[in-house]
A = this chain, B = another copy of it.
Amino acid sequence: MVIVKLVLAYEGTDFRGWARQPELRTVEGVLSNALQRIVRGEPELSVAGRTDAGVHARGQVVSFPAPEDTDPERLQRAVNSMLAPEVVVLSASPAPDGFDARHSATAREYRYRIDLGPVPDPFTARYVWHRPGELAVAAMRRAARDLAGEHDFASFGRKPEERGASTVRRLQRLTVSRSGDRLEISARATAFLHQMVRSLVGTLVAAGEGKLDPGSIPGILAARDRGRAGPVAPPHGLTLERVVYGRPLTVPRSRR
């Protein structure tokens, strides 16, 4: 067997998120179906950055074990001929033994796009949240500074299913950039809680609207109460941009 690593981009509008679900159209579902026509049997996919319904990806990483004679480039062409342009395999390559897209990942980067203009743009509306009217960027940045770093983010996301799992995460970056009517929020962490990026975005937007005191972040974090943070921003503005593999985890023990 060989481990194949795929980098995926997709426009999530017409999917019910990544994870396979019976009767629903999901990215994992259509990708699995396509791969089954190429490799024998149902591939066991590992993914970094499972996306919710309506969320997009420009650099999601998936890995799976495939027969030794699998040609990644042919596989890429075959999958793209079935799924592009809605789901596109940007690259396909053999990965070192022991590589696992989810467990080997050392960071995930997301970007949330907001259009502040008076009317929406039909050409970007599927992946940019149209929220007309000004936002106070300085207040958003003040709040973002207090959110960055290692904290218990129980106020900003649902726990993983495992009971008693930790809600402590290290938010390596949370930045707000502005260009004309476009506002973009970038977030990077080793891992995120469920809906955490959208909850951070909703909180920053509330700060930018003057509805939430940007100095209140430490108190919100300490409360460990989802009712204290801002609302969860809509899914369609969110894109998983990149998954980072930068640690010894990606180098298999046997080759050291």
A residues with CB within 8 A of B: 9-11, 56, 58, 80, 84-90, 119-123, 125-127, 130
A88: chain B residues at CB < 8 Å are: 119-122
How many monomers of this chain does the complex have? Answer: 2
The residue that A86 contacts in the complex, of B9, B122, B130, with Cβ under 8 A, is B122
A9: chain B residues at CB < 8 Å are: 121-123
Report yes or no: A10 in contact with B85, Cβ–Cβ below 8 A.
no
Task: Give A130 to B89 CA distance when docked, in angstroms.
Answer: 15
Task: Give A122 to B130 CA distance when docked, in angstroms.
Answer: 20
27 A-B pairs (CB sep. < 8 Å): A9-B121, A9-B123, A11-B122, A11-B123, A11-B125, A56-B123, A58-B123, A80-B119, A80-B120, A84-B119, A84-B120, A84-B122, A84-B125, A85-B120, A85-B121, A85-B122, A85-B125, A85-B130, A86-B125, A87-B122, A88-B119, A88-B121, A88-B122, A89-B119, A90-B119, A123-B126, A123-B127
A109: min CB distance to chain B, Å: 17
Task: Give A175 to B104 CA distance when docked, in angstroms.
Answer: 48
**Nearest opposing residue in chain B for A8, CB measure:** B122
> In the complex, given contacts A56-B123, A85-B125, what are 8 additional A-B residue pairs having Cβ atoms less than 8 angstroms apart?
A9-B121, A9-B123, A58-B123, A84-B120, A85-B122, A86-B122, A88-B119, A90-B119
Task: Give A223 to B182 CA distance when docked, in angstroms.
Answer: 49
Task: Give A51 to B125 CA distance when docked, in angstroms.
Answer: 21
Task: Give A121 to B80 CA distance when docked, in angstroms.
Answer: 11
Task: Give A87 to B121 CA distance when docked, in angstroms.
Answer: 9
**Nearest opposing residue in chain B for A125, CB measure:** B85
Nearest 8 A/B pairs, CB to CB: A85-B125, A85-B120, A11-B122, A88-B119, A84-B120, A85-B122, A9-B122, A10-B122
A37: min CB distance to chain B, Å: 19
Task: Give A112 to B11 CA distance when docked, in angstroms.
Answer: 22
Task: Give A73 to B29 CA distance when docked, in angstroms.
Answer: 45
A19: min CB distance to chain B, Å: 19
**Nearest opposing residue in chain B for A58, CB measure:** B123
